[in-house]
Amino acid sequence: MTTDAAGVTDRQARVARLRRVAPSVALLLVLAGALLIPIAADDPLLRLASPERSRVDGLRAAIGDVPVDGLVLVALDADLGTYPEIRATTRAALVDLAAHGIRLAFISFTPEGRAIAAAELDRLRRTGVTPAPADLGFVSGSEAGLVRAIASVLPESAAGPIADEIDARGGGLAAFDLVLVVSGSDLSARSWVEQVGPRLPELPLAAIAPTFLEPELAPYLVSGQLTALLATLREGVTYAEAIATEPGDERGPTPGALAMLIGMLAALAVLGEAAARRLTGGGRPV
């Protein structure tokens, strides 16, 4: 009898747990399904791209100002948590730079940034980008390392035509025609503006950043300390669409508008339900 009662209680507990978890799992399944439904960029009902294009035009102009065969430093210091938000934008920028015949070099000042940079370099090599980007590796010391790189950015092991060109131009950050800072939570374009901007005022700095950094970086764009800035998902999607050349251009997937819409409506529904429960004096939600 006692065993039966315990079994019933266990079953009830399991059912209660399933009921608690079911809405979240169902939402995740719906979101995953929505991601599989292709939505055209010019769909009249759903559009993730921003109608405001000034920042996209700003980055395209900054890249356009780099001379053919120019050198661009990609300072990849994104973090693993927020990189998915800016991955499509970053890859679009790399495609854009390559399309302009610009030579690239990668450097990182954070360990997470270095890990992402290594993976992106590997991807670029596999896609056969020519000339192959130079890998300037990881510089420790965060902002102190950044200041050190102003004078010397080439590691001992650097070799190849791009490294030779950097060396011929002085071997420091001034060797580059543009720096594209891919920002994260540990080291953002703000550090570049603060540490490199006053020392190399002629060096153009462009930035790609996740949305949470936008309020921090936007004033630098207005003041001209940043030449260009893409810092929201919608701007990134607009940019990726603007430079899209062919479907398989290896930029990686851009976020799905339908999945975003469903997720946002679900969030609004949950907020509304919780607020209504509060207003009607309902019990404590679980």
Partner 1 sequence: MRRTVVAAMALVTGLLLILDLLVVNPSLGQAAGALNELLVLLAAAAAVGGAVTLGAHHLREVAAGAGSRAGSMVLLGGMVVVLVAGLRPGSTGSADPAVAWLVAALLAPIAASIFALTFLFLLGALRRGFAVRGRETSVMAAAAAIVIVLLLPLGGAPGDWLASGATWVRAVPLAGVFRGLLIGVGVVVALSAARFLLLPDRDDD
Residue numbers at the binding site for partner 1 (CB under 8 A):
24, 27-28, 43-48, 50-52, 80-84, 111, 114-116, 118-119, 121-123, 135, 137-142, 144-145, 147-148, 151, 198-199, 214-216, 218-219, 232, 234, 257, 260-261, 263-265, 267-268, 270-275, 277-278, 284-286
Q: How far is CA 130 from the centre of its chain?
A: 23
**Contacts for 156 with CB less than 8 Å, ≥ 6 apart:** none
Q: Phi first, then psi: give them for residue 75, nearest 5 degrees.
A: -90, 95
Helix (H) or strand (E) holding 229: strand 228-230
- How many other CB atoms are there within 10 angstroms of residue 214's CB atom? 15
Is residue 215 helix, strand or coil? helix
Please report how close the Cβ of residue 163 comes to partner 1 at its closest, in angstroms. 14
Which amino acid does the sequence have at 140?
S
Q: How far is CA 66 from the centre of its chain?
A: 22
Please report how close the Cβ of residue 50 comes to partner 1 at its closest, in angstroms. 6
Nearest Cα residue to 50 out of 236, 265, 218: 236
Q: Pick the closer one to partner 1 by CB: 47 or 100.
A: 47
232 within 8 A of 86, measured Cβ to Cβ: no
Cα gap 118→250, rounded to integer Å: 16
Please report how close the Cβ of residue 220 comes to partner 1 at its closest, in angstroms. 12
Q: CA triplet 170, 171, 174: central angle to 5 degrees?
A: 70
Cα separation of the two ends of the chain: 32
83-99 vs 233-243: helix axis angle to the nearest 10? 30
Cα gap 51→63, rounded to integer Å: 21
Positive or negative, the Cα torsion across 121, 177, 93, 263?
positive
